[in-house]
Amino acid sequence: MSATHRSATSGAESGAGPEAESAAYDPRTVRRAMLAGSLGTLIEYYDFSVYGYLAVVIAPQFFPSANPAASLLATLAVFATGLVVRPVGGVFFGWLGDRWGRRKALVSSVLCMGVASSATGLLPTYSQIGVAAAVLLLLARLVQGISTGGESVGAYTYIYESVPPRRRAFLGAVTPIGSNLGFMFAAATAGVISALATKDQMSDWGWRLPFLMAVPLTLFCLWARLRIEDTPEFEEAARRADIPAAPIREVLSTHRAALLQSIGLSMAQGGAIFLGLTYIGIHLSNDLGYDATHVLWLSAGVVLVTVLLMVPAGWLAARFGSRRILLCGLLGFLVTAYPAMMLMGRHSLALAGAAYLVFMLSSAFVQVPAASLWPHLFERRVRYTGMAIGYNVGTVLAGGTAPYIATFLVQRTGNELSPAFFVMVVCVIGIGSLLTVRKDV
């Protein structure tokens, strides 16, 4: 489908012609939408990933054990539970976004995330209140998981509906840029504190500071999101009273194929990228013995290179189609996973860093085209809900559980390369799902 035809189709669906479309997509409104969407995902992934970067430090504070591996597994299990409840948050925020507006859902989700992350930085430890500390950590993580269930898909939906149709594939890069900057900022913040604090200070109070950074970040994002209006498509639908009464039921009855495609693509993206952004850092420092501070800075540098590739990835998606670029990205993960992990164990941090970078280069060519392809799978009436269910179910199955599955595979098999096979399996699932998608952005 050509860009002209897509633009005309979108205008017809929203009840607007070319002149109305030009008025609806005011440049200042588009810029505000991009800022609000990218800031929210930055804060979401900062809050969510800082836990993974500090997992080795947090583990003995909440799950003390004579066996460090058991302590780390318990900590990563809590990390995974935060993603298990994502579909719950997705259902709620999807319903809120499709029934009452994208803006309300986006403001609510980022506020929920900020409060939960800040609370994590104030929690008492096991030595202070015993097992109740682990329970409180789990509760905070569950609240974070619920909020993330609506955050990313809300940003994808909002930006997709707020920019001109012909620019959706390119500007789809904005949301993953925000999410990856969140990962990078989390790694850099943890790295700075780790470098400045002693090991005892890091265990005592240093680990709290990155979580407490959520306070100013959340306030900044709320400022940006309270300045935006709802998307032109939703405002037009509200004017015509074309709002679904039961968006969940409508998704399950009329969008089954899109839902399955979304789940498959989410499993591939989440499985490969979460493993790269959370587990590999743990693997390099905990299993291979590289200096933890150096690994944090290495992770931040790798993510920065990934972010820099996202603008050209968006250009390529607009030029050749999101499906083709996404297919290239998934194939990249598939063929580099095993050799990259093999090179990481060669007792050279420089070589390990190069291997890590080669593996993560595919990330830009997966995240950017997927950001515009996901909302394109669903009609406007149930776009937020459909994406929220599909994206979050896939993330539960293979994304947030990736660090736990990878750690478990290594512990169970004794093979440090076994996580690579997990990446290869989820990429095959994603490629199979992508080949069934017939429409492109």
DSSP per-residue codes, 309-362: THHHHHHHHHHH-HHHHHHHHHHHHHHHHHHHHHHHTSS-HHHHHHHHHHHHHH
pLDDT for the residue 10: 40
Closest CA to 121 of 41, 68, 46: 46
End-to-end CA distance of the chain: 8
pLDDT for the residue 263: 96
Alpha carbon 334 to chain centroid, angstroms: 20
Q: How many angstroms separate the Cα of 369 from the Cα of each of 13, 26, 328?
A: 23, 24, 10
Handedness of CA 33, 34, 35, 38 (dihedral sign): positive
Tokens standing for residue 431: 């490629």
Please enumerate in sequence order all residues whose Cβ is within 8 A of that of 223, keeping only pairs 6 or more positions apart, or say none. none
DSSP 232-265: HHHHHHHHTT---S-HHHHHHHH-HHHHHHHHHH
Say if pTM beats, i.e. exceeds, 0.85: no
pLDDT for the residue 17: 43
How many Å apart are CA 50 and CA 185, to the nearest integer? Answer: 9
The domain locations on the chain are 18-223+246-434
Classify domain 18-223+246-434 at the CATH topology level: Growth Hormone; Chain: A; (1.20.1250)
* Contact present, 265 and 374 (Cβ < 8 Å): yes
pLDDT for the residue 238: 87
Can you state the angle between helices 310-320 and 322-344, rounded to 10 degrees? 140
Whats the size of the chain, residue-wise?
441
How many Å apart are CA 437 and CA 75, to the nearest integer? Answer: 37
What is the b/e burial string over 382-401, where b = at least 16 CB atoms within 10 angstroms of the residue's CB?
bbbbbbbbbbbbbbbbbbbb
pLDDT for the residue 23: 46
Q: Which amino acid is at 52?
A: G
| Alpha helices in 54-173, H assignment, sequence order | 55-62, 68-84, 86-100, 102-120, 126-129, 131-162, 168-171
* Contact present, 94 and 248 (Cβ < 8 Å): yes
How many Å apart are CA 180 and CA 191, to the nearest integer? Answer: 16
pLDDT for the residue 51: 82
How many Å apart are CA 256 and CA 253, to the nearest integer? Answer: 7
How many Å apart are CA 244 and CA 1, to the nearest integer? Answer: 28
Task: Count the neighbouring beta carbons within 10 Å of the beta carbon of residue 414.
Answer: 8
Q: What is the pLDDT along the chain (441 residues), one digit of tens a residue?
A: 433 333 333 443 444 444 344 445 678 888 888 888 888 888 888 877 788 778 888 888 888 877 777 787 787 788 777 778 888 999 999 999 999 999 999 999 989 988 988 899 999 988 899 889 889 988 998 998 898 888 889 999 999 998 888 889 998 889 999 888 888 888 888 888 888 888 888 888 888 998 898 889 889 889 988 888 888 889 888 888 889 889 999 999 999 999 999 999 999 999 999 899 888 988 898 888 898 888 888 988 998 999 999 999 999 999 999 999 999 999 999 999 999 999 998 788 999 999 999 999 999 999 999 999 999 999 999 999 999 999 999 988 898 778 888 988 988 998 989 999 999 999 999 999 999 998 887
